[in-house]
Amino acid sequence: MDLIVHSLYSNKEVFLRELVSNASDALDKLRYLSVTDSDLLKDGPELDIRIQTDKDNGTITIIDTGIGMTRQELVDSLGTIASSGTAKFLKALKESQETSVDSNLIGQFGVGFYSAFLVSDKVVVSTKSPKSDKQYVWESEAESNSYTIREETDTEKLIPRGTRLTLYLKRDDKGFAHPERIQKLVKNYSQFVSFPIYTWQEKGYTKEVEVDDPAEAK
Ligand SMILES: CCNC(=O)[C@H]1O[C@@H](n2cnc3c(N)nc(I)nc32)[C@H](O)[C@@H]1O
């Protein structure tokens, strides 16, 4: 994975394009399957991608209302780093005889997910498939080559269907947690995605109304 991640080091900002592309694929899958099984849309008809930035916590969250993954699919798709796409990508990397490859290459092998680790110390994927009644959380830290999977128990994080991916940005990449930066990246790289993409900045609570000491309110 390090080889993959560092081969893209030159153009870190591609991470957003890759993650939005995965979200778009998940929405495509749902849209296609729902043609013959409209039940798949029962938990929510909207097919969209939402990107939330939180500059206070240095995180970016990408939420899609796509098909989502069951626990097994989570293990198969994210758990097995040595996926076939990875092997093919590494082979192409070696054949390219260059240290940094054209950043479009990674997307062709379905390993764009790893580009999240270009800018993140930790990646958390919380996902709910219509095929399972539970939501599962896959979590991995950049330094460790391991991951954990558990049930989502935080009720605030429950989604009706799809995948919620949270990037805990590296110290030097906190700049990506600014909405204007994300909006520019979406315009540059993801303008042809066939689903609506919404961005919003997680607001800390701002005190809109200053209330004097309630005792005085009488
Ligand atoms: C090599 C890393 N594996 C992946 O990126 C796979 O994980 C799965 N994946 C990644 N982001 C996803 C996403 N947002 N929704 C769904 I459904 N599956 C996703 C897809 O099967 C990808 O091929």
Burial grade of 25 (CB within 10 A; 0-12, 13-18, 19 or more): middle
SS (H, E, C) the chain: CHHHHHHCHHHCCHHHHHHHHHHHHHHHHHHHHHHHCHHHHCCCCCCCEEEEEECCCCEEEEEECCCCCCHHHHHHHHHCCCCHHHHHHHHHHHHCCCCCCCCCHHHHCCCHHHHHHHHEEEEEEEEECCCCCCEEEEEEECCCCCEEEEECCCHHHCCCCEEEEEEEECHHHHHHHCHHHHHHHHHHHCCCCCCCEEEEECCCCCCCCCCCCHHHHC
pLDDT of the residue at 34: 95
Return the exposure string of 185-203: e unless at least 16 CB atoms fall within 10 Å of the residue's CB, then b.
bbeebbeebebebebeeee
What whole-number distance in Å separates Cα of residue 129 and Cα of residue 126? 10
Cβ atoms of 65 and 27 within 8 Å: the answer is: yes
Residue bearing the CA closest to ligand 1, atom 15? 26
Cβ atoms of 49 and 62 within 8 Å: the answer is: yes
In the numeric block, the tokens 């999977």 are attached to 149
User: What spacing in Å lies between the alpha carbon of 193 and ligand 1's midpoint?
Assistant: 16
- Any residues with Cβ below 6 Å from ligand 1, and which? 22-23, 26, 64, 66-69, 77-78, 83, 85-86, 110-111, 113, 163
Cβ atoms of 56 and 192 within 8 Å: the answer is: no
User: What spacing in Å lies between the alpha carbon of 74 and ligand 1's midpoint?
Assistant: 8
Give the model confidence (pLDDT) of 97-152 as tens digits: 665 666 666 777 778 898 899 999 999 999 999 999 999 999 999 888 789 999 99
pLDDT of the residue at 62: 97
Q: Which of 99, 125, 122, 115 is nearest to 170 (CA)?
A: 122
Is ipTM over 0.95? Answer: yes
User: What spacing in Å lies between the alpha carbon of 179 and ligand 1's midpoint?
Assistant: 24
pLDDT < 70 positions in the chain: 1, 8-9, 80-85, 97-105, 203-218
Residue bearing the CA closest to ligand 1, atom 2? 111
User: What spacing in Å lies between the alpha carbon of 154 and ligand 1's midpoint?
Assistant: 22
pLDDT of the residue at 207: 47
pLDDT of the residue at 84: 65
pLDDT of the residue at 218: 45
Chain CA centroid to CA 1, Å: 17
